[in-house]
Chain A
Amino acid sequence: MHFAYPPRKTSNPPPFLPRSSKLPTLRRSRLKIIAIVGLVFIFLVYLISRPRSGHGRFEQHKPSGKPPVVVVTVLDESKYSKEYINAVKDNRIQYAQKHGYQTFFPKVGDYDLKSAPPSWTGVVAMRHALTKFPDCTYVWYLEQNSYIMNPQLKIEEHVMKSSRLEQLMIKDHPVVPPDSIIKTFSHLKGQDVDFVLTQDREGLSSGSFILRNGEWAKFFLETWFDPLYRSYNFQKAETHALEHIVQWHPTILARLALIDQRIINAYSKGTKGAEYKAGDIVVRFVDCLATSPKACETESQKFSQQWRTSFKNS
């Protein structure tokens, strides 16, 4: 074939020039920018992925709140009658069942105290409770010679709710009455409190106190249980050891809230501290301890009918 003229151009040319390369972004002029962005990206990846000298924070176990409260009572079966012990147990169990709590009843002699007075058992028992119930929120230590009188009150609302606690806290008050120069903190927030206890007329009372489960509680109980405190012959054993650590160690004082005695620790008679009035959560028999176990049992008779009826009615 032969044409006189070269073939005509197509009569409908494409509206645009064909691409020079497949990817429009890879044009030569942009290559520089892409290279720079790539370098910056690699640098960022390096920054993020390189070994970090400061490693992560230590995450302590967060209790899920099942059960919310564990009631701990150390029973002394060698000195007290079976009926009395059973009544005490029954009292705690009924209270716990009502609110979905748990109870824990270790016995005197369960733990090796290394020749320290048996009253120290309460401190280890609390530590043991934290081990047995790692997911509880609060642990309430209630001494054996006492009855829970008002089953309506829940620990986490009656005492430990932070707004309630902020009202209850006794601020800027000598930790050990009457004239310790160490005073409770005046700017403590409710959620920072891990340890709630009361004072009676003689000093701190370790017969009824509440601990919030956590690393701090373990630290506190283990420090309290230190063998050097146990061997020191404090006149009132663990109570005086408590008064000692609370006054000497600010990390403990900073987590402590003193509250009015009748909130968790009313006494059956007003000689040593605040006297029980109807509606208080707890009554403790303290005066009888000096005389004999038998005296405590008779003292408890006055209240045993009372708590049973109030539990039935509620």
Chain B
Amino acid sequence: MSLSRSPSPVPGGGWSSPGLNISTSGRSSPTRGYSASGTPVMWESARLKTGYPSFSTQRNNGFFSRHMRNISSSLPRFSSSLPHAEKEKEKEKEKEQLSRGRWSVRSVPLLGRLRGIMGRMGKKMKIRLLILLMLLLSIIIFYTTPLVYHWRRTSWLGGGQKFVIILAANVGGGVTEWKGAREWAIERDSVRNKKKYVARWGYELEIVDMSMKKRYAHEWRESWEKVDFIRTSLRKYPKAEWIWWLDLNTFIMEPSYSLQDHIFNKLENHVYRDINEYNPLNISHPLTEPHLDAVSQSPVGDGNANSVNLILPQDCSGFNLGSFFVRRSPWTDRLLDVWWDPVAYEQKHMEWEHKEQDALEQLYISQPWIRKHTAFLPQRMINSFPPGACSENGNDTRIHYDQRDRDFLVNMAGCEWGRDCWGEMYNYRELSYYLNRSLWERFKEDLIALIWFKITGRKVKL
């Protein structure tokens, strides 16, 4: 066996030969010598220098206790001149004494050595070392441990557990339409996108199965199941305060926005409760019936953000339930209970194309108690549309996605009706990656690749 470098002596005796470690014991040099002769001298000196660890209970009181050890340790010691066997015996004795009383330094020679180094080190050096250590520690904490995740999750710290995202997956379940490769790809991308987001901010993710099932003899009620899923999620996550419903064809473009920062920390600044601000359905607001109280007649309810229990975006044709929030409250229980009613359904199901969405609009129009606790978000805060949706009047800054404003989420609403869902999903996914590149990637792609292109005239991918 050839060696990579020549063997070199090791302080304790023996040889260190890094290339040669094929011996059965796994060691290349006799280390027994270490414990026998090498170390005692070494660690004795270390002990001399620094004394026992500072956290021993001994206090430097009084003259004698302060100086006794120094005096005694400077006296000549004869242990090394003892014959070997006796030395061993003494060592045993000493060990016993040590282990009975104080913490044994002898068992950790490295610590003693370190203390020696620290003792010799200057103050400036110590501070520099401390800064370096802090830097290292924070890198470890922020990049390699789940500490940040748990911080963000804990309800009294980051509060991530208060948010549950419900993602409606497996829409239709392949009953009316064949579920092909594109559909699977959409689902995979959408789910991955939400999973990443949730892992980043410590939220909960509930993926629900919206497959078509015949619940009753004569009807498919798959979109009404929203109500049931919200209810079960509230039960499943007892710490959840807000539930965010998301349709499958959505993509979180800016995963760096937390819901708290984006919306909930300053809820009263972001939402509008007076629907007249944007009112595509022309709902007359506020209610004016004389039998209602002042809060019900007020355009903004009681005006306090605490009373908001339902937050909806509106698109060009009214309420949009592709992305909305509900809050855990007795009010929400009532809404979820009343939302589907057989009498209303019997009278209206022919008119209600969007089922639960139309039912909610109907409730909002006719029920003062619903209005009091409903607020609206500007659509582009949580539900930007691609240019293909709501396109009758061209591009609308209230509705359509704009990458310069770094909108939070894109909802490819209605893409299954004649548009290319997978194409849109793919484009927005790539755009999101492009917009959220790291500094290093920007440096590579925007500078190096550009320079390379200028010089050689060839595009490179780095």
| Residues of chain A having any CB pair with chain B under 8 Å | 47, 51-59, 111-112, 124-125, 127-128, 130-131, 134, 215-216, 218-219, 222-223, 226-229, 231-232, 244-245, 248-252
Contact residues in A for B162 (Cβ distance below 8 Å): 53-54
Does the CB pair A223–B338 fall under 8 Å?
Answer: yes
Does the CB pair B331–A215 fall under 8 Å?
Answer: yes
Interface residues of B in 328-370 (CB under 8 A from A): 329-331, 333-334, 337-338, 341-344, 347-348, 362, 366-369
Does the CB pair A223–B367 fall under 8 Å?
Answer: yes
Identify which of A47, A226, A252 gathers the most chain B CB atoms within 10 Å of its CB: A226
Q: Is the interface of B mostly helix, strand, loop or mixed?
A: helix
Contact residues in B for A249 (Cβ distance below 8 Å): 337-338, 341
In angstroms, Cα B155 to Cα A47, docked, is 12
Does the CB pair A55–B157 fall under 8 Å?
Answer: no
Output the nearest chain A residue to B297 by Cβ-Cβ distance: A131
A131-B157 contact given A58-B307, A222-B367, A249-B338, CB 8 Å threshold: no
Does the CB pair B367–A226 fall under 8 Å?
Answer: yes
Interface size class of B (residues with CB under 8 A): 35 or more
A81 to chain B, nearest CB (A): 27
Output the nearest chain A residue to B368 by Cβ-Cβ distance: A222
A57-B337 contact given A47-B157, A226-B344, CB 8 Å threshold: no
| Residues of chain B having any CB pair with chain A under 8 Å | 155-157, 159, 162, 241, 259-260, 264-267, 289-293, 296, 304-307, 309, 329-331, 333-334, 337-338, 341-344, 347-348, 362, 366-369, 373
Question: Can you list 21 A-B pairs, Cβ within 8 angstroms, ordered by A?
Answer: A52-B159, A54-B159, A54-B241, A55-B264, A55-B306, A58-B304, A58-B329, A58-B331, A134-B293, A218-B293, A222-B367, A223-B338, A226-B367, A228-B348, A231-B347, A232-B343, A232-B347, A244-B343, A248-B341, A251-B333, A252-B337
CB-based A-B contact count at 8 angstroms: 91
In angstroms, Cα B290 to Cα A124, docked, is 10
Contact residues in B for A252 (Cβ distance below 8 Å): 337
Output the nearest chain A residue to B292 by Cβ-Cβ distance: A131
Does the CB pair B291–A111 fall under 8 Å?
Answer: yes
Contact among B306, B309, B338, B369 for A218, CB-based, below 8 A:
B369
In angstroms, Cα B369 to Cα A136, docked, is 19
Does the CB pair B334–A226 fall under 8 Å?
Answer: no
B241 to chain A, nearest CB (A): 5
Contact among A51, A54, A228 for B344, CB-based, below 8 A:
A228
B134 to chain A, nearest CB (A): 13
B373 to chain A, nearest CB (A): 8
Contact residues in B for A130 (Cβ distance below 8 Å): 293
Contact residues in A for B338 (Cβ distance below 8 Å): 223, 249, 251
